[in-house]
Amino acid sequence: MAGTNYQPLDRRKVYEQIAGQLLDQIGTRRLKPGDVLPPERELTESFGVGRSSIREALRMLESQGVIAAATGGAFVVAEPANPLNSSLRLLFSLDERAGMHDLYELRRILECEAAFLAAERRADEHLEAMDTAVAEMEAALADGRGGERFIDADLRFHLAISEATGNRLVLHSMQAVRDVVRRALLTVVLIPRSPESAVVEHRAIRAAIADRDADRARQEMRAHLVRVERDVEQGVGSG
């Protein structure tokens, strides 16, 4: 850590910027799992800030599972069970709007191609899982009390598509981001007509996969995710 050059701090909360720069060090493997972070005094001098800002940044990183307390008041870089999910959660806590954009960009990269592959490789059991998920989404809307129930069914629909690809890494990647996707959808379900639109779009995606029309499945998934991201941004902006 000696000789590390940190960037000048801007007008955001100082501790958030410190946490972000430390996260960058971890993400680029300059700080690796098991490495001990420099003591508070050294970080204070490196960043040119007070100890309270350093402590707040370390608390934020610890709460997200990025670092862990060690003996003697030190902190070490943790080996999280789900590093992608932990990183996304931290990005959300630092800048929710930017985190949402990154999440939905990732989803478009991953899920549009997943829909394409699912159309080529799906089995009847995958279509049945999609049908069950859509039916549960509709039931949640009908009872008027099913925000969380709706979201869980929504996620099961997308996981069924991942399973239909037959690619274990695609499925594991979707499972890795499941928690932050769920957080985003908690905003979407509160936007008028957005859940109803999701049901219609899911049926269109399912139909394309059932028809083994891979190009159409990809297009329907992209249209769905673009619309959902727009609704998420609306919800975040009004919050």
pLDDT tens digit sequence for 49-64: 999 999 999 988 887 7
Both tokens of 80, joined, read 């999280």
User: Considering the domain boundaries, does residue 1 fall inside one?
Assistant: no
Residue-wise pLDDT for 140-162, tens only, equals: 999 876 688 899 899 999 999 99
Of 152 and 225, the structure prediction assigns the larger pLDDT to 225
CATH, residue 89:
1.20.120.530
- The values of phi and psi at residue 21, to 5°, are -70, -35
Q: Does 125 reside within a domain?
A: yes
Query: 233-238 long-range contacts, Cβ below 8 Å, gap at least 24?
Result: 233/97, 233/100, 233/101, 234/191, 235/187, 235/188, 235/190, 235/191, 236/96, 236/97, 236/100, 236/187, 237/97
CATH assignment at residue 40: 1.10.10.10
Q: What is the pLDDT of residues 170-185, one digit of tens each?
A: 988 888 888 788 888 8
Helix (H, G, I), strand (E, B), or coil: what is residue 75?
Answer: strand
Give the domain extent around 75.
14-80
Confidence grade of residue 168 (pLDDT, cut at 50, 70, 90): confident
Question: 100 pLDDT exceeds 90?
Answer: no
pLDDT tens per residue across span 102-145 = 889 999 999 999 999 999 999 999 999 999 999 999 999 998 76
Cβ neighbours of residue 232 closer than 8 Å, sequence gap 6 or more: 100, 104, 184, 187, 188
Angle between helices 83-94 and 168-176 (to 10 degrees): 40
Over the stretch 1-43, which tens digit does the pLDDT of each residue have?
555 666 655 546 888 889 888 987 876 678 888 999 999 999 9
What is the model's pLDDT at position 147? 83
**Domain count for the chain:** 2
Choosing from 62, 80, 98, the residue where a domain stops is 80
